[in-house]
Amino acid sequence: MLLTGWGRYPTVTSQVTAPGNVDALTKQLPAYPRGTRLIPRGAGRSYGDSALAEQVVSSRFLDNFIALDAENLRISCGAGVTLAEVLRLCVPQGLFPPVLPGTKHISMGGAIAADIHGKNHHVDGTFCDHVESISLALASGELVHCSRSENSELFHATCGGMGLTGVIVEARLKLAKVPSVSINTESIAAANLEESLTLLNEHNEKKYVVAWVDCLARGAALGRGIIHCGDHSDAGELRHRESSSIGVPFTTPGFLLNRVTMATFNKLYFNRHSWAAGARQQDYDKFFFPLDSIRNWNRLYGSRGFLQYQFVLPDESAESGLTEILGAVSSAGKGSFLAVLKRFGAANENLLSFPRAGLTLTLDFKFEPSLLSLLDELDAMVLAHGGRLYLAKDARMSEAVFKQSYPNWEAFKAIKDRVDPEGLFASMQSNRLGLSGADMGSSTA
């Protein structure tokens, strides 16, 4: 069947299997003929080509809970369980996943493979920092239990390893105890990039901090935005809520998203939030997952899809780098509603995890052929400022850019080659980045 990532670019024809249980999976894996390239896939929420290959094994039906220990704040479940399900179960008990990304419709396995982050990275680290152990199905069909003390090398390669070491089948996650899931939020308007950065610094002790940036504003207003901060309210509720959502029933023509409509949207968003700036209490579903209220919002970018571009720059070069990159985006007239700026805390030990201390900016761009050269230019700026790109969003970075910015790639590759000697696990992305098996080199899919 035809498969894409969430960005709907690129597209690939794949054979998809969805084993109904772990046994079926471990029988299936060693049966593939030599030379097969297979990648595990969770909820399909990575944006680019990291969960695309000729053969795809879906964790869709490995979605069982194993145990919830409310006293010791632990949950064990299959890799296909989504965070939406975890929330449904945990919230009424005052338990909360310690790290949440911008959508709840991601799988546990995907969250670990991409070592995702949330609005609280500067305080709580990445998702995998709260993963106690995982169970990994290797290419041989063997099940391996990995944690920081058991098979720790494999654990640190698999967390953030984009599914290239094996199929994550189960995981045990530490939960947080929260007084409520109502979030006390505060929104502050920033007139330009400098102010946005200052505000991010000033609110660094707050638990959840994120800035929306108007990437189409130019000149003195370059980098203007709205800083949203939040923390769990002591006087809120512990009710599971799922805000109602509306769907985008079909792919809208891509030309509807153009400079004028996006600039108008951004202006309206900025004005609305700067007018309504201040403190209030918000339901967690709205605070963490505003985009989940529009199902299939990815269809708004037209039939050719879109690319999300997320990079991190170390603190010392962040301001100059951001100015340069935002300037390039703004003068190219490209950009989108979704420009999100966050501060990261220190990096963890996982070999391919994206976050490192500094500032991260996320931009999304409607796909058009001219976009690729702009992104190559941005890559050069990111590298020049000592930064790197997020693999879960990437669909086009070059092998050279990747290898230069992820210095641990060789250590990762050595572990991958050891546990997957025939190179069964490979995605279009890993082929492009030179991370597939030995005989595959860096050929493209």
Measured in residues, the chain has a length of 445
- Choice from 12, 89, 300, 328 touching other proteins (CB under 8 A): 89
- Choice from 11, 12, 54, 64 touching other proteins (CB under 8 A): 64
Q: Which stretch binds other proteins (CB under 8 A): 19-27, 186-194, 255-263, 352-360?
A: 19-27
263 binds other proteins (CB under 8 A): no
Q: Which candidate, 309, 308, 312, places its Cα nearest to that of 360?
A: 312
User: Least separation, in Å, of the C-beta of 211 and other proteins?
Assistant: 35
68 vs 191, beta carbon nearer other proteins: 68
- Choice from 31, 33, 34, 67 touching other proteins (CB under 8 A): 67
The order of strands in the sheet holding 340-344 is 278-283, 182-190, 225-232, 208-213, 340-344, 358-366, 306-313, 388-389
Output the six-digit token pair for 75. Answer: 């949950």
C-alpha distances in angstroms, 317 versus 210, 356, 403? Answer: 19, 13, 20
Strand partners, 260: none
75 vs 99, beta carbon nearer other proteins: 75
- Choice from 65, 204, 239, 443 touching other proteins (CB under 8 A): 65
Q: Which candidate, 49, 55, 59, 41, places its Cα nearest to that of 13?
A: 55
- Choice from 37, 60, 105, 224 touching other proteins (CB under 8 A): 60
66 vs 276, beta carbon nearer other proteins: 66
Q: Using DSSP, how many helices (H) and how many strands (E) does the chain show?
A: 13, 22
1 vs 31, beta carbon nearer other proteins: 1
Q: How many residues bind other proteins (CB under 8 A)?
A: 21
73: left (phi over 0), alpha (psi -120 to 50) or beta: left
User: Least separation, in Å, of the C-beta of 395 and other proteins?
Assistant: 22
- Choice from 27, 30, 35, 66 touching other proteins (CB under 8 A): 66
Q: Which stretch binds other proteins (CB under 8 A): 65-73, 126-134, 176-184, 255-263?
A: 65-73
Half-sphere exposure of 13 (CA within 13 A, CB side): 0
Output the six-digit token pair for 376. Answer: 């190559």
Which residues here bind other proteins, judged by CB under 8 A? 1-2, 15-21, 23-24, 58, 60-61, 64-68, 77, 89
